Amino acid sequence: MANPVSLRGLRKAFGARTVLDGIDLEIAPGEFVALLGRSGCGKSTLLRILAGLDREIDGEARVSGAVSIAFQQPRLLPWRKVWRNIALGLHKPDGRSIALKALQEVRLPDHADAWPLTLSGGEAQRVSLARALVREPDVLLLDEPFGALDALTRLAMHHLVEDLWARHRPAVLLVTHDVDEALLLADRILVLDEGRIVATHHVDLPRPRRRASVVEQRTRVLADLGVDVETAA
């Protein structure tokens, strides 16, 4: 079976500025990959390419199957109630019941009939996440989907994504700035820097993972991000 995501020598430049400079990446079916890297290193650019939104590239980018993406900004249609935003990608008659269930899962059961502009940042982000999840895609792209969430809700969303992933087994590419989050969720962690993948970590810890079990590996990932834990702590 072909890999749902396959990149060979992917390059992307905006004018004279090269943002992605030769990316080779294969993501196997059902693999959970986390992508780390400093702000502005090209993570969102990579996700846009994978979502088919940017075709002005060099190299080869093949993505197969249904793709769904939760953007860094929620991108909800403000003139559609929350549940309609979630049902947007379903093209199904029983959209409302599916949307309501998804809202339950992202812990917003009472917001089905709210207008998106009335939501808080974290709430909008969860609606956007729900919209990406209900499509049960083959490739799930998540661009910092937990950025605006408090620690507790964030934990709940980790479980939700992991659950959904365990059930439907999409290939996942999760962009995050949180190393612990990457270690808790991913099979493989990539570090992007200067337009290249400069480090790859395989995380073989058994699931479900707990915070304590990831501490040791965290030091090594942080070192690749240029953080010296001894002095940082």
Partner 1 sequence: MRWISPVALVLLWQLASSTGVLPPEKLASPLTVAQSAGELIADGQLADAFVVSLGRVFFGFLIGGIIGVALGLVSGLSRWGETLLDPPVQMLRTLPHLGLIPLFILWFGIGEEPKLALVAAGVAFPLYLNLHAGIRQTDPGLVEAAKVLGYSRIERIVHVVLPSAVPQTLVGLRIALGTAWLSLIVGEQINADAGLGFLINNAREFLRTDVVVVGLVVYALLGLTTDALVRLLERRVLRWRTR
Ligand X SMILES: Nc1ncnc2c1ncn2[C@@H]1O[C@H](COP(=O)(O)OP(=O)(O)OP(=O)(O)O)[C@@H](O)[C@H]1O
Question: What is d(CA 23, CA 61) in angstroms, rounded to the nearest whole number?
Answer: 10
User: Is 14 near partner 1 (CB under 8 A)?
Assistant: no
User: Is 44 near Mg ion (CB under 5 A)?
Assistant: yes
Nearest to 172 by CA among 50, 62, 32, 6: 32
Q: Which two tokens stand for residue 41?
A: 């290193």
CB of residue 171 to ligand X, shortest distance in Å: 20
Question: What is d(CA 14, CA 17) in angstroms, rounded to the nearest whole number?
Answer: 5
Question: Which of Mg ion, ligand X, partner 1, none does residue 41 bind (CB under 5 to 8 Å by kind)?
Answer: ligand X
Number of H helices, E strands in the chain: 8, 9
User: Is 64 near partner 1 (CB under 8 A)?
Assistant: no
Among 13, 19, 100, 198, binds ligand X (CB under 6 A): 19
- Nearer of residues 73 and 200 to partner 1, judged by Cβ: 73
User: Is 195 near ligand X (CB under 6 A)?
Assistant: no
Cα angle: 224, vertex 47, 53; to 5 degrees: 155
Question: What is d(CA 113, CA 130) in angstroms, rounded to the nearest whole number?
Answer: 15
HSE-up (13 A, CA, CB side) for residue 69: 18
Question: What is d(CA 15, CA 13) in angstroms, rounded to the nearest whole number?
Answer: 6
- Nearer of residues 80 and 209 to partner 1, judged by Cβ: 80
User: Is 71 near partner 1 (CB under 8 A)?
Assistant: yes
CB of residue 150 to ligand X, shortest distance in Å: 20
CB of residue 73 to partner 1, shortest distance in Å: 6
Which residues sit at the interface with ligand X, rule CB under 6 A? 14, 19, 37, 39-45, 72
Residues that bind partner 1 (CB under 8 A): 48, 51-53, 67-69, 71, 73, 75, 77-80, 88-89, 91, 115-118, 131, 135
